[in-house]
Amino acid sequence: MKSTLAKVLYVAGVATFCTFLGCWAVLAHQAAEKAAGKTVSDEQFAKKAAQGGMAEVKLGQLAQEKGANEAVKKFGQRMVQDHSKAYDELKQAAAKENITVPADLDRKDQAAYDAFSKLSGAAFDKAYARDMVKDHQEDIAEFKREANSGQKDAIKNFAAETLPTLQEHLKEAREMRQAVTSSGFTKTKAGSSAHAGQR
């Protein structure tokens, strides 16, 4: 009798523990989803946007220096102008909400900058154009999310007002990618063997 009762209690205990474990796993998954950006706070958005903007400025300066295609140099120049202006506007908006934005690149952006700084000419152009299309697609999604569901008015308004500029950037980035891709094909048709030994 005692052993049967002990078995029943053991099974009940294990079942309760497994149920608790299952609930914990669901809650942990939900927390992971939030951390992955499903619900980003205004402060997190502001900090990420500031660092992203600074990265665009630094890469834009690099594009003017290292780019071979005129479209790349021109796009880089626009990145420096527009993202410098946006960074200043974001700083003002963040100050209204008592948020301090970073003044340095994060490690990921710094690593990307270091990688780009080792490239030049056509190799730089293609990598930069590809990166700018991808980057602006991600930015637009994040800015839309903040503009629609942000809690702090100054940050939410900044996102909404900056969005059209980012959409223009994406359009130009796609045109730039097209320009560097087609110029690569033109060179190939013109006889890449003549350039094979040159960098």
Range of the domain at 141: 40-188
Would you place residue 182 in the very low, low, confident or very high pLDDT band (cuts 50, 70, 90)?
confident
Find how far residue 113's CA is from the centre of its chain.
14
Tens-place pLDDT, residues 123-167: 999 999 999 999 999 999 999 999 999 999 999 999 999 999 999
Check whether residue 28 and residue 57 sit in a common domain.
no
CA atoms of 107 and 85, how far apart (whole Å): 23
Confidence of residue 17 (pLDDT cuts 50, 70, 90): very low
In the chain, the amino acid numbered 34 is: K
Q: How many domains does the chain have?
A: 2
Question: How much of the chain exceeds pLDDT 70, in percent?
Answer: 72
- Sequence letter at residue 146: E
Domain of residue 167, CATH code: 1.20.1260.10
Residue percentage of the chain with pLDDT more than 90? 69
pLDDT at 12 over 60: no
Do 119 and 141 belong together in one domain?
yes
Are 128 and 82 contained in the same domain?
yes
Q: Where are the alpha helices (DSSP H) in the chain?
A: 2-33, 42-66, 70-96, 107-117, 121-149, 153-191
Reply yes or no on whether the pLDDT at 116 is more than 70: yes
- Residue 40 has a pLDDT of 76
One domain for residues 98 and 183: yes
Whether the Cβ atoms of residue 177 and residue 129 lie closer than 8 Å to each other: yes
**pLDDT tier at 4, thresholds 50, 70, 90:** low
Q: Say yes or no: 109 and 126 in one domain.
A: yes
Domain assignment present for residue 199? The answer is no
Torsion of CA 32, 135, 120, 74, to 10 degrees: -160
- Establish if 48 belongs to a structural domain: yes
Least confident stretch, 15-29, 87-101, 143-157: 15-29
CB distance 45 to 146 below 8 Å? yes
Residue 79's φ and ψ, nearest 5 degrees, are -60, -45
In a domain, 195, yes or no: no
What would the pLDDT profile of 42-93 be if each residue is shown by its tens digit? 999 999 999 999 999 999 999 999 999 999 999 999 999 999 999 999 999 9
In a domain, 18, yes or no: yes
Secondary structure of 122-170 in the HEC alphabet? HHHHHHHHHHHHHHHHHHHHHHHHHHHHCCCHHHHHHHHHHHHHHHHHH
Task: Judge if 34 and 112 occupy the same domain.
Answer: no
Helix (H, G, I), strand (E, B) or coil at 9: helix
